[in-house]
Structure 1
């Protein structure tokens, strides 16, 4: 049995806080709070659009969340500065543990896919820029369904696209909502708890595994085989 691994991209493989460096140039000490709120609103807007069935590309959610934060914090960013920040989202860095872990898992015979709320074009460009695109059999994006995780239909779409079975598929994600969505869809899932301060949602639905870095995955997945 060949296990399929569906890697979330933003926040799991790719460090969304990479934009913090640019924000600090513009906002100084206000940057960390601005960056965290921007990420929260980005996800919130995707959830709301999914529920409303009013789909727009994830980049639109990112843009609108930036506009919200600019108004909320009264930072009065210029149009040029906003474009500069949005451009950062196309060139975010991979986490330091990503490349070695993906290589190890690929060499061990796991099937690797990128599975994202982002558009296929944006994700492919991001992975290529980060130097980790070569490890994946493919990129599966929610744009084909015009919805977002954790819609159950999105997880079914992944299985169809990758020719995988739910009981042979693991989601790898640092986002608790994504892990809960995958487990609810009959998958197994590993939560990447990148910070000791990160809290998993207390819904009574738990990940099958918890790791603090991607480098722990092979050991955990081998034990589960």
Structure 2
């Protein structure tokens, strides 16, 4: 049997992008800070999808800056340059979700290979993982910059398999973003969706995920049972 490989999408899966609301709250009220943080993340994904369709790759940190400028204009918040720089710096030190470390440790104990897989540059991924205390729990980092493609481009999932020497049926994407799950399934990979927001339904098009869980702890529990059923002794 092939050793399962789990590629963890970084943002909103292992690290909490909404933590930037803490920095935003120094300039905005709490409600506006939370709304701004959500919209900023949406814009980052939107710009990545657009650039992917255009074939106009750019470093994801640049996309974060472009999205920040767009949301600042859209919401009329008029953030100063110092505030913007503080927010971009915060993006490089996002905290891990409380369930991340224990779940990765448990999955590794099940024999699962665990790697980080993200649209960010390798530098930013490694910096985030170091700051979040997760670097030693992941065997490798696979970055979009290596092929200059963003998720959910099939070329990036093919690169993931080539880099990790894993077969499609043994390669899993773990993500909280439905579009990434659909992209991975379309590319022939397996996928596990984290429904961290209980109010968020999975998108109604494309192949559904192989596994769904509310958090990483529940995913690890499901995986233990799933692997036992798929590969009985």
Does the TM-score normalized on the shorter chain lie above 0.5?
yes
Aligned to 1:111: 113
Aligned to 2:143: 141
- CA drift at 1:24: 1.3
- CA drift at 1:73: 1.1
Aligned to 1:13: 14
Please list, as runs of the form range in 1=range in 2, the aligned pairs for 1:1-225 lying within 5 A after superposition.
1=1, 2-28=3-29, 29-225=31-227
Matched residue of 1:161: which SS?
A: helix
Measured against aligned partners, the alpha-carbon deviations of 1:136-193 in whole angstroms (never above 9, x if no partner) come to: 1100001011110000000000000011111011111100011001111111111000
Matched residue of 1:27: which SS?
A: coil
Matched residue of 2:27: which SS?
A: helix
The two structures have a TM-score, normalised by structure 2, of 0.94
CA distance in 2, matches of 1:217, 1:31: 30
> Contact (CA 8 Å) 2:154, 2:187: kept in 1 or not?
yes
Matched residue of 1:25: which SS?
A: coil
CA distance in 2, matches of 1:149, 1:20: 25
CA distance in 1, matches of 2:224, 2:188: 20
CA distance in 1, matches of 2:109, 2:225: 17
Gaps of 5+ in 2: 228-233
The two structures have a TM-score, normalised by structure 1, of 0.97
- CA drift at 1:222: 2.8
- CA drift at 1:105: 0.9
CA distance in 1, matches of 2:75, 2:138: 39
Cα RMSD of the aligned pairs, angstroms, is: 0.9
Gaps of 5+ in 1: none
CA distance in 2, matches of 1:202, 1:141: 28
CA distance in 2, matches of 1:201, 1:57: 27
CA distance in 1, matches of 2:199, 2:9: 20
CA distance in 1, matches of 2:184, 2:206: 14
When structure 1 is superposed on structure 2, of 76-85 and 24-33 the one drifting more is 24-33
